[in-house]
Amino acid sequence: MEKILERYFFMPSKKQSFELNGIDKIVSILEAFEGVYHLSVPDEFTSKIICDSLAKKAKKLWPHEFSLDFIEQELLAGGGLFGPSGPFIIIDAQEIKANAFETFNNNRHLINESIIFITKGRLPKGFPKDDLTALSLSAPKPWHFGQYLDVFAKYFGFQISLQIKNFIEKSVPDNASDYFNCCHILSHHVDERGAISLEKAKSLIKVKKLDFFDQADLFNQSNLKRFYLNLLLIEDDFGLYLDFFRSFQGHVNKVIDPSYLAAKKSPSKYDRGIQLAARKWDFNELIDFQQKMINFEIMAKSKDFWLRDCLRREYLGL
C-alpha cells in the first residue's frame, strides 16, 4: 500500500517535530486551520486527544469517507446549499485509497477547505504537495514513558500524583493502551478536587506486570516472602505467569552455575546479584527452587487454577 501511495505523495518542504508533552502546542497550531496539514502520531490515543480537542471546530472523517465522491461533491462541488462543512480531520489517513489522493492532488488548486491528515507511525515518504504544514508527535523514550500518564490524566480531567504514577509504571505493561485504560478507570473515582488517593488507585488497577529484575533481586537476597507476594498480586494472568516462570529458570541456572562470570571483566549489577545469590543459597535449595519454577510453569501452561493456591501456600509457609 505504501508503495502505491508514494506515487501520489511529495515530500513536504519542512516539518515541525514535538515530544509527547508538546501535544498542546500541536493543537494550537492545527486550530489555525490554514490549508493542509499532515500530523504523524505514535498511537490512536494521542490521535483521539487531538481530534477531541478540535471536535467543535472541525469534522472528523475516517479513511473510507475521504473518497472520490467526497472530494468531488464536498470539496469541488461546494458541498451543497450551505457549502462545505469543513474544516476536516481525516483519521488513519495512511489507509486512504490511492485514487482518492490522486484526485485530491490533481485538484488541489481548486480546494479551499482546510484539511488535517493524521497518520499513525512514521511520516510517509511523500504527501500532498504545495503549502503543506507537516507536524510530528513522537512517543516518549522508554525511560520517560510515564509522560503518557500525565497526558492521559489531563485528558480525563484529574490530577495524577507521583506516587500513583510510580505504582502504575511498576504494575502495568509499558504501552499506551494500558496507560490510557488506567487513566480512564481512575477518572471515574476522583474526588471533588479532581484527585485520587494511592490506596484507591491500588484497589482499582489490576497488577499485570512483573519486574523480572526486581524479582531476581528479591530471590538473590532470599526475600521469598516478598517474591511470592508479588506473584500473588497477579490475578490469573496465565500468560504472564508462564513467561515469568520459564524465564526465571534461566536466572536460577546462572546461580547454580555462575562460572560464566569468570569471562567477564566488569560484571553488571545483575551479574553481581548472581554472585551474591551463589554465596547465599545452598545447592540443594537451588535445585528444589528450580523444580518449583518448572512445576509452576507447567501449571501456568495448562491454565491450572490451583496455581495461585500453590503460590499462596509457599507465601504462607515462610
pLDDT digits (tens, 9 = 90+) for 108-146: 888 888 999 999 866 455 565 557 888 999 999 988 999
Residue percentage of the chain with pLDDT more than 70: 90
Q: Which of 313, 270, 282 is nearest to 295 (CA)?
A: 313
Are residues 245 and 296 in contact, defined by beta-carbon separation less than 8 angstroms? yes
Region of poorest pLDDT, from 13-17, 38-42, 150-154, 293-297: 13-17
The whole-number pLDDT of residue 235 equals 81
- Exposure class string for 13-25: b at 16+ Cβ within 10 A, else e: eeeeebebeebee
pTM score: 0.79
Confidence check: pLDDT of 6 > 50: no
The whole-number pLDDT of residue 103 equals 86
Location of C-alpha cell 560484571: 267
* Measured CA distances, 204 to 167, 177, 207 (Å): 12, 16, 9
Are residues 83 and 77 in contact, defined by beta-carbon separation less than 8 angstroms? no
What tens digit of pLDDT does each residue of 177-206 get? 999 999 999 999 999 888 999 999 999 999
* 3-class SS of residue 117: strand
The whole-number pLDDT of residue 85 equals 74
| Topology of the domain covering 2-137 | Rossmann fold (3.40.50)
Q: Which of 52, 88, 44 is nearest to 70 (CA)?
A: 88
State the first-to-last Cα distance of the chain, in angstroms, to the nearest integer.
59
Q: What's the whole-number average pLDDT of the chain?
A: 89
Residue percentage of the chain with pLDDT more than 90: 69
Domain residues of the chain, as ranges?
2-137, 142-204, 212-316
Location of C-alpha cell 519454577: 293
Across residues 151-158, what is the average pLDDT? Answer: 96
